[in-house]
Chains A and B, each alone.
Chain A
């Protein structure tokens, strides 16, 4: 399979999976999303294995690193702002927003803990241990 064909399949499969998941969520069908996503991942993996050219290398990994770091930073700032706002609103007589605010706050804490665990692990693995 050529890289062009693989890219085309990737778009088609992504659109199909996204459509099915969106349909399942809107209709309240809880059984469809998980098998759909799993099937999509497996099909994409099988397609990727058939590609003769290299589909990923050190540059793509570096791009993924930077994109992940950017996503983490942006999400933390946005979630912290939204969480603090929701908690402040809940104190002013709208208690319904408190669970959402707390969920965002705990999400940030979990994300930061996972980040530091990952950082310590890779720092040791890549020889940063003194």
Chain B
């Protein structure tokens, strides 16, 4: 499992239960990538991380955390 955790699921919920498909379209990736991110199976590039953070209107650190 990746050591980078994320809050994508929670942020989607806080943004009027945004669907994975909507987030994917707005961040410019596939729905499968969002699923993989939420399951912690995939670590995104810095560019995608910024795009996801921008979609939610938060900083990258609020979406992704580096943990032990």
A contact set with B: CB distance below 8 Å: 3, 52-60
Contacts and interface: CB of A to CB of B under 8 A. Distances in A.
B65 interface: no
Chain B: interface secondary structure? helix
Contacts of A54: 24-25, 28-30
B22 to A, nearest CB: 10
Nearest to B45: A58
B48 interface: yes
B21 A59 contact: no
Given A53-B31, A59-B44, 15 more contacts: A52-B25, A53-B24, A53-B30, A54-B24, A54-B25, A55-B30, A56-B30, A57-B33, A58-B29, A58-B47, A58-B48, A59-B29, A59-B33, A59-B42, A60-B32
B38 to A, nearest CB: 13
A57 B37 CA distance: 13
A128 B4 CA distance: 27
B20 to A, nearest CB: 11
B13 to A, nearest CB: 21
B36 interface: yes
Contacts of A52: 25
A55 B30 CA distance: 6
